[in-house]
Amino acid sequence: MFALVDCNNFYASCERVFDPNLQGQPIAILSNNDGCVISRSDEAKAMGLPMGAPIFKWEAFCKANGIHVLSSNYPLYGDMSSRVMNILKQFTPDVEVYSIDESFLEFKGFDYYNFNDYGNEMRSRILKWTGIPTCVGIAPTKALSKVANKVARKFPKHTGGVYVIDSEEKRIKALKWIDIGSVWGIGYNLQKRLKAKGCKTAYDFTQLSDDWVRKSFSITEWKLKKDLEGNSKILLDEPRNKKAIATTRSFDFTYSDINYIKERISTFATSCAEKLRKQGSSCHVVIVSLRSNPFRKEHKQHRTSTSVHLSYPTNSSLIISNCAVSAVSSIFREGIEYKKAGVIVTGIVPTDNHQLHLFDAENPKHQPLMKSIDFINTKYKSHKIKLGNQDLKRTWKMRQERLSPKYTTNINDIIVVK
């Protein structure tokens, strides 16, 4: 059996844990740069605030409805997430952390367990120890556990937040209830194609022929169909290193000066290199991308990217940054107002076990240098060591005008109880 444990309105719930005044209140959490709404409490959803709403267009609506609008506080959410995931590991050794707010669990050898009771125990322990409400769906396959989770969430009064699909009747009933577009793995495009074929629910999808599904779509959809039929084809993912690492950001304004862009790219590249070193990896390929603001149609648009292949794998900030900055010159266009840029590193290999190059190799001084930089940056967070091509004076700051304190990760922000 598999379980999907999903935190309810996770970001909004994290904020509520430390600010009880928000209990029962409508809350909206904003994306980076306070751009658009990325998480809403049930109350805010009920008022009609949509996901992805640009806040500058919905400001008046939020004010009129008393919606508490907050900037996203990722240190807090990340820390709360790891607390939840650690609790889940007490229930089974087989846990796949699927995203910041949900995990799949697999139960092997739990044949005589009452899964409804077990699911309730998970929910109540997480709520008691972290204050985060969750929903639990349990079923014989991953895709069905996703469906069960949706049932648990939609009918809290009947299910108490836990739903188990453990019979053929329950499987069919759940599949007939769920709209095809709400099924895990069926996005906007597939939904349109399936609906055109008369396929309205997940149950309709399972009634299509295997051959037709395989021919018309990819192997992913075929596996999904089998999973929904109760025949497990989507397996629990092992924890592994990332295959690509990205740092991309929208700017506070638009920029048409190549030197600004180069500075940003250098910072993003440095951040990618740090992430590489953290997971003990090096990369072969650096991809740099730039784009103008697609919402400003009256401006000249440009969207571009380029990839640079390195002759040896590296995680040195110096090399990755230099390589990314030189790539900017090859794709930058004069007269374009750029709004977003990013660096992606890929072709990732383990640092201590990679193919050597016959003629070319990394400067041996880089590795100890990077180690020292990482050490100092971890110890003195406010005095970060930067590269020469990053702006040493300018502090690039994201717009975060409504940020809550870092209650669990900053000693100065710990709550004082009087």
Q: Where does this chain bind DNA (CB under 7 A)?
A: 31-33, 35-36, 38, 52, 54, 56, 98-102, 146, 183-191, 218-220, 237, 242-250, 253-254, 275, 285, 293, 295-296, 307, 309, 339-340, 342, 344
Cα pseudo-dihedral 75, 77, 82, 85, rounded to 10: -170
Q: What whole-number distance in Å separates Cα of residue 371 and Cα of residue 316?
A: 10
Smallest distance, Å, CB 418 to DNA? 36
Nearer to DNA, 116 or 191 (CB): 191
The residues, ordered by sequence, that sit 6+ positions from 38 with a Cβ below 8 Å of its Cβ are 11, 29, 30, 31, 51, 52, 72
Spatial contact of 328 and 288, defined as CB atoms under 8 Å apart = yes
Q: 3-state class of 303 per DSSP?
A: strand
Residue by residue, DSSP assigns 103-160 as EEEE-SS-TT--HHHHHHHHHHHHHHHH---EEEEEESSHHHHHHHHHHHHH-HHHHT
Q: 3-state class of 40 per DSSP?
A: strand
Spatial contact of 102 and 4, defined as CB atoms under 8 Å apart = yes
Nearer to DNA, 119 or 342 (CB): 342
Smallest distance, Å, CB 47 to DNA? 19
Nearer to DNA, 116 or 305 (CB): 305
Smallest distance, Å, CB 182 to DNA? 8
Spatial contact of 117 and 164, defined as CB atoms under 8 Å apart = no
Smallest distance, Å, CB 183 to DNA? 7
Nearer to DNA, 169 or 262 (CB): 262
Q: How many CB atoms lie within 10 A of CB 56?
A: 10
Best CA proximity match to 236, nearest among 50, 331, 59, 107: 107
The residues, ordered by sequence, that sit 6+ positions from 212 with a Cβ below 8 Å of its Cβ are none
Nearer to DNA, 254 or 369 (CB): 254
Smallest distance, Å, CB 56 to DNA? 3
∠ Cα 178 183 187 (to 5°) = 130
Nearer to DNA, 369 or 402 (CB): 402
Smallest distance, Å, CB 247 to DNA? 4
Smallest distance, Å, CB 201 to DNA? 15
In eight-state DSSP terms, residue 295 is: T
Smallest distance, Å, CB 117 to DNA? 26
Nearer to DNA, 83 or 369 (CB): 83
